[in-house]
Structure 1
């Protein structure tokens, strides 16, 4: 699974990415997880299976869904999980979105 996160500058999300990677490894899952600046989303179309937005850019959700155009599920990370750096919960959320989209 390829999980891409997007935020204001790709910086704050890097903490979540590291925690998600740790949890995926702990579960024996070989996922590609990375973060980008929201301005680069369009260039990444086709490279991810799910796109999670940082809560600080949740106002862009409708616009981002139009850009992604159904190629992958798009959702906002729950603010509590984001704020607490709960990589396990964010990873589970991404997996749920993929299952719903199948």
Structure 2
């Protein structure tokens, strides 16, 4: 099981995307545990993750998160995928970054 952490401004809108990601992963039998948190919670939640995804609204934190957690892959969710809640596309990105294809 892959542990995926989504970080955004407050953890609210991203929680809707979590549901879409879980649904899309289930469709292809990809075992993930996905949780959304506020960017301010990063230090507490990132260490236990396999991958960190940033919501577009906090993409300016990319370097800071990468520098704070150099052993974790960190990516920004595409703005279009985020806006359309495209869980399928986000799952594809997760699989690609983690080399799970």
TM-score, reference length from structure 2? 0.92
Superposed displacement of residue 29, structure 1: 2.0
Task: Return structure 1 stretches of 4+ with deviation > 2 angstroms.
Answer: none
Question: What does the per-residue CA deviation read over 1:37-92, in whole Å, with 9 as the maximum and x for residues that have no partner?
Answer: 101111123311110000000111111111112x2100100001111110000111
Note the 1:1-20 alignment, pairs <5 A: 1-20=2-21
Superposed displacement of residue 27, structure 1: 1.2
Local SS of the residue matching 1:89: helix
The corresponding residue for 1:26 is 27
Q: CA RMSD of the aligned region, Å?
A: 1.3
- Alignment gaps of 5+ in structure 2: none
The corresponding residue for 1:87 is 87
The corresponding residue for 1:96 is 96
TM-score, reference length from structure 1? 0.91
- Alignment gaps of 5+ in structure 1: none
